């Protein structure tokens, strides 16, 4: 039996008396796009936070990457060991140019490379996500939102992850931009990187996900094939907010 590339067991996160993530377990296999769904406040982003320890770790539970515990690793060690993430908001260095944003990530992952080699890596990941070369020298906070999202994804890819956690990459995008984001996600998977995807755009999540995990109030209410999961009554009520007879 293949070892999951990412495995979580009993992950929990409490804030005082509130359990934001409550006993969450799942396995992600190499090469999958593993979708994570749920209503607002269901614990999706908190789950990413405690996996990466950015900005905090779990209250309880374990995380393994390729069968090896990541429990005792610090946040930067997790990022450099093979798990990178993006955020709901475009988390870029606004005053730096687009290319310099990516170079910061490249330098942290490969500090011994020459500048020319680092620049080549930065250009490689920017090209992978389709970031326009004409915008590379623009300040990151001056480019449109879709391109800031591309830039954030490229910076995460510059860390050379084996698993990329993507937190709502399609939020605030137009219909055509969502289609382009879908192409980016599939392109990333095509390079051999495993993707764990939080997304509220259900059509996108259903189209790209191999498996779908659904959270509600911090707990797992479904985990399986997307077409089967989305039909479950508990998922319909919790995620879609629809009533059923």
**Does residue 14 sit in the same domain as residue 78?**
yes
Q: Is residue 71's pLDDT more than 70?
A: yes
**Does residue 215 sit in the same domain as residue 165?**
yes
Which pLDDT band, with edges at 50, 70 and 90, does 245 fall under? very low
What would the two tokens of residue 165 be? 């956690």
Query: What rounded mean pLDDT belongs to the chain?
Result: 93
Sign of CA dihedral 10, 54, 79, 57: negative
Last residue of a domain, one of 139, 160, 181: 160
Find the helix or strand (DSSP H, E) in which 213 lies.
strand 211-216
**Does residue 172 sit in the same domain as residue 78?**
yes
**Does residue 187 sit in the same domain as residue 202?**
yes
**Does residue 210 sit in the same domain as residue 242?**
yes
| pLDDT tens, residue by residue, 216-242 | 999 999 999 999 999 999 998 886 564
Rounded Cα distance between 164 and 127, Å, is 17
**Does residue 169 sit in the same domain as residue 237?**
yes
**Does residue 165 sit in the same domain as residue 245?**
yes
Last residue of a domain, one of 160, 192, 209: 160
Q: Is residue 9's pLDDT more than 60?
A: yes
Quote the domain boundaries for residue 109: 90-160
Rounded Cα distance between 231 and 243, Å, is 12
**Does residue 173 sit in the same domain as residue 232?**
yes
**Does residue 141 sit in the same domain as residue 26?**
no
| pLDDT tens, residue by residue, 80-117 | 999 999 998 878 888 999 999 999 999 999 999 999 99
How many CB atoms are located within 10 Å of the residue 113 CB? 14
**Does residue 154 sit in the same domain as residue 175?**
no
Last residue of a domain, one of 130, 160, 190: 160
**Does residue 54 sit in the same domain as residue 67?**
yes
Tell me what pLDDT residue 238 has.
80
Tally of structural domains, the chain: 2
**Does residue 206 sit in the same domain as residue 98?**
no
* Measured CA distances, 175 to 72, 147, 201, 210 (Å): 42, 15, 10, 22
């Amino acid at each position: 039996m293949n070892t999951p590339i990412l495995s979580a067991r009993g992950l929990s996160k409490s804030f005082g008396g509130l359990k934001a993530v409550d006993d969450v377990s799942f396995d992600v296999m190499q090469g999958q796009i593993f979708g994570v769904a749920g209503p607002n406040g269901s614990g999706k982003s908190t789950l990413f936070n405690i996996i990466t320890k950015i900005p905090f770790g779990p209250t309880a539970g374990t995380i393994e990457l390729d069968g090896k515990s990541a429990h005792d690793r610090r946040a930067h060690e997790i990022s450099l060991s093979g798990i990178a993430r993006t955020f709901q908001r475009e988390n870029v260095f606004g005053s730096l140019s687009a290319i310099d944003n990516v170079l910061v990530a490249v330098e942290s992952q490969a500090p011994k490379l020459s500048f020319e080699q680092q620049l080549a890596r930065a250009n490689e990941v920017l090209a992978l996500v389709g970031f326009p070369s004409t915008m590379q020298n623009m300040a990151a906070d001056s480019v449109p939102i879709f391109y800031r999202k591309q830039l954030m994804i490229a910076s995460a890819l510059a860390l050379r992850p084996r698993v990329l956690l993507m937190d709502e990459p399609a939020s605030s995008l137009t219909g055509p931009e969502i289609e382009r984001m879908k192409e980016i996600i599939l392109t990333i998977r095509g390079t051999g990187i495993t993707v764990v995807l939080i997304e509220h755009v259900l059509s996108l999540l259903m189209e790209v996900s191999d498996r779908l995990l659904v959270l509600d109030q911090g707990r797992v209410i479904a985990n399986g094939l997307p077409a089967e999961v989305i039909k479950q009554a508990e998922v319909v009520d919790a995620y879609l907010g629809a009533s059923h007879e």
